[in-house]
Amino acid sequence: MEKRRALFLDRDGVINHDSGYTHKIEDFHFIDGIFDLCRAAQQAGYLIIVVTNQAGIGRGYYTEEDFRVLTTWMVGRFAEEGVTITEVLYCPFHPEHGVGEYKRDSFNRKPQPGMILTAAVSHGLDVESSIMIGDSETDMQAALSAGVKKRYLLIDHSSPNFSASCTATLLIDDFTKAVAGF
């Protein structure tokens, strides 16, 4: 059986504007072009898989149930736009700022590759021919460690923290260049 490819997406900063620990529907604003990007990926045969650190859970800012409610709504919005989100994987742990059971390191917390590798096994993915789009170096490091060859860093030139990633294979400031990679 031929292995499938995936478009791995970080959530905050790629799917939605990162307003800081986004966990309410009313604070969730999609980034322009995300639905077109995902439709193009789907038409090219990619599964759409979200891999997101959710330290806000670990820090006690919101609950896993809050995350599930928002995720169900988000997946529904993608479906309304003709896009199937195959899976949403998340890591609620934080090694320094986690509270209680959430204060620990995890192989699933980016920059570790755990979420990508889990998805690869669960969905029979060819990780090498998959694509990762993230907005941070930790996204790129997780993809590199998992063996993803195409790693696209979504950059915002107005951001004071802008710096070129040493592990991204392409810097993009919108999704147009990413679609060309399918």
Just list the catalytic residues. 10, 12
Q: Where are the beta strands (DSSP E) in the chain?
A: 5-9, 46-53, 85-91, 131-134, 150-154, 170-172
132 neighbors 150 (Cβ within 8 angstroms): yes
Q: At what angle do helices 114-123 and 137-146 cross, to 10 degrees?
A: 50
Indicate the SS3 state at residue 66: helix
If residue 38 lies in a helix (H) or strand (E), which one and from where to where?
Answer: helix 34-43
